[in-house]
Structure formats: structure tokens, C-alpha cells
Amino acid sequence: MKTMMIALAFAGLATTGSAFAQSTAPAPAPTTVAQTGQWVPPDGQTVAPKTRGEVYQELVKTEQDGQLDYLNRTLYWHH
């Protein structure tokens, strides 16, 4: 009786295990590399690089409108 129950348990496990093994999960999006060796975002949209002047202007803007202070108080408060 015990051997029959154990055999049924193993048969049940084997059946469900093979069902899970055959299921196909969506594959993650591959990261592509452009011809020049540069990383390309998964959505395929290239991001134009910024100049030092553009980055500096963004920094000045965030200091003036309070975004930088807000980040320092909330996100970086423990550093």
C-alpha cells in the first residue's frame, strides 16, 4: 500500500515536472551592440551625447529650481 502511494507520488511529480520543463517563458530582450561597439538601448532609440556645456546648464537649472536640494534631502540624506 505504501509503495503504491509512493509510486503515485513520483508519477505525479514526474508529470508536473515535465509540464513545467516544456513551458516557454518569454525571453529577455537581447542587448544589442552597434557596429561601432557602442551600447544601444533595448528600444532601439539612440541617445545623443551631451556636451559639457549642456550638462553644466542642467546642473545650474536644477540648483535654481530646487531639484538638487530636494534630491540631497530625500535620496542622498544618509550620505
The residues, ordered by sequence, that sit 6+ positions from 27 with a Cβ below 8 Å of its Cβ are: none
Asked if the model's pLDDT at residue 2 lies above 80, the reply is no
Number of folded domains in the chain?
A: 1
For 32-64, how does the pLDDT look when each residue is reduced to its tens digit (9 = 90+)?
Answer: 554 667 776 778 777 789 999 999 999 999 999
Tell me if 75 is assigned to some domain.
Answer: yes
Residue 43, in any domain of the structure: no
Runs of H (alpha helix) within the chain: 2-22, 52-65, 67-74
Residue 72 lies inside a defined structural domain of this protein: yes
Residue 54 included in any domain: yes
pLDDT at 67: 93
Task: Write out the residue range of the structural domain in which residue 76 sits.
Answer: 50-79
For residue 77, tell me if it sits in a domain.
yes
Q: Would residue 33 count as lying in a domain?
A: no
Beta bridge partners of 39: 33
